[in-house]
Chains A and B, each alone.
Chain A
Amino acid sequence: QQQVKQSPQSLIVQKGGIPIINCAYENTAFDYFPWYQQFPGKGPALLIAIRPDVSEKKEGRFTISFNKSAKQFSLHIMDSQPGDSATYFCAASSVGAGNMLTFGGGTRLMVKP
């Protein structure tokens, strides 16, 4: 069964801290790794995504690090703000093999003022 394992389940940081959320996958055919952000009562929205041909991608304060050999990828939030408090989901799919998007279990992040 294709799985994406996400950790931690919850995370509390102070404003300005750098929360790190990790995901690990099993299927070596995965070649698309997006992160979604979900605020309470809302649907998830795409935050940032990476392909395995690069090891890092930055968009604003959000950075994805990708380790192909370890089959792991992570999300870092620089200078975190209380407005970043949300649930974050990692996901993975393989465009070539036609595998649908598989989601991790989610991480509830709270950034304290």
Chain B
Amino acid sequence: DGGITQSPKYLFRKEGQNVTLSCEQNLNHDAMYWYRQDPGQGLRLIYYSQIVNDFQKGDIAEGYSVSREKKESFPLTVTSAQKNPTAFYLCASSRTMNTEAFFGQGTRLTVV
């Protein structure tokens, strides 16, 4: 099955710890994205990547980091510098930057 896989589905982190969220796609898409969604809110763009080894900051990149070493993988690290990391994180990919985006099922991160 082609699609986007995010793991884990639920993640708990202690304050002060870094944590990495996984995102893998087998759609052969060039572009990948990370969004943050807070309860009852819209999608806010954290980082995006148009091609391998290249990525750009989105609207709320502070406290986050990404890498794009492989076309199919775009992991997101939530660092201890992110002041309010508890949220639902969504990864997406698209063939190009401006075409239909396909989303993963999300990772719910809770800081305890």
Contacts and interface: CB of A to CB of B under 8 A. Distances in A.
B47 interface: no
Interface of A: 32, 34, 36, 41-46, 49, 89, 91, 93-95, 97-101, 103-106, 108
Nearest to A6: B42
A16 to B, nearest CB: 26
A43 B43 CA distance: 11
Interface stretch (B68-76, B77-85, B103-111): B103-111
Contacts of A89: 42-43
Given A42-B105, A42-B106, A101-B94, A34 B43 contact: no
A93 B105 CA distance: 23
22 contacts: A32-B98, A32-B99, A34-B100, A41-B88, A43-B4, A43-B90, A44-B103, A91-B101, A93-B97, A93-B98, A94-B98, A95-B96, A95-B98, A97-B98, A98-B97, A100-B31, A100-B97, A103-B43, A105-B41, A105-B42, A106-B41, A106-B43
